[in-house]
Structure 1
Amino acid sequence: MPKRFWLVQRRGLGAGPIMTYLVVCSVALFASGLTFFSGFGLGTLLLPAFALFFPIEHAVALTAVVHFLNGLFKLALIGRHADRRAVLRFGLPAIVASFAGAWLLLQLTDLPPLVRYALFGHEVRVTPVKFAVGALLAAFALIELLPTTREVTFGARYLPIGGVLSGFFGGLSGMQGALRSAFLLKAGLSKEAFVATGVVVACLIDFSRLGVYVPALLATGADLDYSLLGAAVVSAFVGAYFGNRYLQKITMRGVQVIVAVLLLAVALGLASGAL
């Protein structure tokens, strides 16, 4: 019996390969299109879809591959609009700081959760790290949505600080995309430069983390469903393609609102333990 069938039955989903493809590919398509403007969210939405059918360590690696290849595709679509100065000032500190955050995560794994509760028959835990990142994202979202603060910009000189915070908390919690967008949104970039710069930085970080994920996954001898992975990648490409077409029809303020709303949603998910 193919391994994916065993995994599905083990998880009690009672679903066949058609359902697996339908769920994963639909999420990849819509998440890629929806999050094209915000610069984050594909991994957040796709990981649970993969985790329905595969062990979590496999789901993380599969999601990372789709995220990286989709980033390369978006890079081909809009990479020419990236602000090189912002990439260097923000991206390089982010990559370095992500290693520090990942190291600290290993040291904090034994911290007890702040709150435990049951949700749909599963135990939900609110960890100190997730609560802290959720509070930070909520603050950024409110700054963007409140009329008195939404016109504030950080300026280029603050990009290295934003890169350090984004990379550090990304390594610590995996939510570097949301923090990256929160800072770049205030850097005075055009909508095209905002999206493209975020794509370049995301590709750099994805490349570094795949260097850790892929060898570890291959070492386990895991029998991955490469046809499903390919279908998910193509679905994400289609979503990104249509997202790029609609980018020309949306204003920068529209991008700001989309980012702020998604930031707030992710913040609530982290603070509640749902993510």
Structure 2
Amino acid sequence: MEKYFVFLILALITEIIGTISGFGSSILFVPTASLFFDFKAVLGITAVFHVFSNISKITLFRNGINKDIAIKLGIPAVLFVILGAWLTKYVPVKEMELGMNILIALLAIFLLFRFNKPIKQTNQNLYLGGMISGFFAGLVGTGGAIRGITLAAFNLPKDIFIATSALIDLGVDLSRAVIYVSQGYFPTEYIKLIPFLILVSVLGSYLGKVILKFTSEKLFKYIVLGVVLLTSLFQFINYFTVHTTP
């Protein structure tokens, strides 16, 4: 019981940070949850949790959705998240965890050196960003940062950025949740967590929105970068500690 309590507190923190950063909480939630659960269970719990998380954000930021970007980025993301989620049945857990660590590290390096150099505002980049973010969301549980990098090219205001990202992510998470549950990644023993995950998603999204009112656009970008860098460092330390311990 104590394990679940600590997990839910950390989940709340990741949800707040995820809302502020605009990337969603998966980039922090997945590595955090992996400390408490088997990695495939983490995939299932993450997908179910983020369905509620994204509904909360869409409700709170519903007046800021850019439908054109959501469609062009969202449809490829949904198609490729299905592919990535299906492949988890065949990829060993250790390789999926390592892939997650490498992905987060590469994203951190990319943001560090291209912080003020956004990608071009083209439909091709929207399609490609959707494909890549969706695929990795399905395969290793997190693709929100890639989607965030793509959206950042369009210089969207904070509210529109978060709402548009949440709408895309809702389609992604619903799709992968169906596949994960059908593959047994959400054991029945975790059903009892659902009411608490709903509460965490609503409260975390709300607190994130409140904090955003006092956060400048410039600080907002630094928060995004900080989230990715800290997560990358944390994950590599955790991964190599676990897999090198006798």
TM over 0.5, shorter chain: yes
Change (3 A) 1:56 1:76: same
Residue equivalent to 2:244: none
The aligned amino acid for 2:81 is: S
Identity %: 27
Q: Does 1:143 align with 2:126?
A: no
Change (3 A) 1:98 1:73: same
Which residue, 45, 63, 72 being the options, matches 1:80? 63
* Runs of at least 5 residues in structure 1 that lack an aligned partner in the other structure: 1-16, 114-124
The aligned amino acid for 2:121 is: G
Q: Which moves more between the two structures, 82-91 or 173-182?
A: 173-182
Residue equivalent to 2:167: 200
Deviations 1:127-166 (A, max 9, x none): 4x34652453033321354xxxx05442143211221222
Distance in 1 separating the partners of 2:62 and 2:40: 31
Quick check: 1:36–1:195 contact (8 Å CA) kept in 2?
Answer: yes
The aligned amino acid for 1:163 is: G
Residue equivalent to 2:190: 224
TM-score (structure 2 length as normaliser): 0.80
Name the SS for the 1:36 alignment partner.
Answer: helix
Paired positions, count: 239
Quick check: 1:126–1:270 contact (8 Å CA) kept in 2?
Answer: no
Change (3 A) 1:44 1:132: closer
User: CA-atom RMSD, angstroms?
Assistant: 3.2
Change (3 A) 1:180 1:152: closer
Which residue, 76, 80, 98 being the options, matches 2:81? 98
Name the SS for the 2:156 alignment partner.
Answer: coil
Q: Does 1:256 align with 2:221?
A: yes
Distance in 2 separating the partners of 1:131 and 1:34: 19
Change (3 A) 1:218 1:268: closer
Residue equivalent to 2:128: 161
Structure with more helix by fraction: 2
Change (3 A) 1:180 1:23: same
Post-superposition offset of 1:230: 1.1
Residue equivalent to 1:38: 21
Change (3 A) 1:213 1:154: same
Which residue, 182, 189, 202 being the options, matches 2:149? 182
Post-superposition offset of 1:63: 3.1
Residue equivalent to 2:243: none
**Runs of 4+ deviating beyond 6 Å:** none
Distance in 1 separating the partners of 2:112 and 2:149: 11
Quick check: 1:140–1:260 contact (8 Å CA) kept in 2?
Answer: no
Distance in 1 separating the partners of 2:131 and 2:24: 20
Post-superposition offset of 1:104: 5.6
Deviations 1:92-149 (A, max 9, x none): 1112223344456666549x97xxxxxxxxxxx984x34652453033321354xxxx
Quick check: 1:156–1:187 contact (8 Å CA) kept in 2?
Answer: no
Residue equivalent to 2:209: 244
The aligned amino acid for 1:90 is: L
Quick check: 1:35–1:41 contact (8 Å CA) kept in 2?
Answer: yes
Post-superposition offset of 1:258: 1.1
Distance in 2 separating the partners of 1:100 and 1:49: 24
Distance in 1 separating the partners of 2:92 and 2:38: 20
Name the SS for the 2:61 alignment partner.
Answer: helix
* Runs of at least 5 residues in structure 2 that lack an aligned partner in the other structure: 241-246
Post-superposition offset of 1:195: 0.9
Deviations 1:60-98 (A, max 9, x none): 323322221121111111132011111011111112223
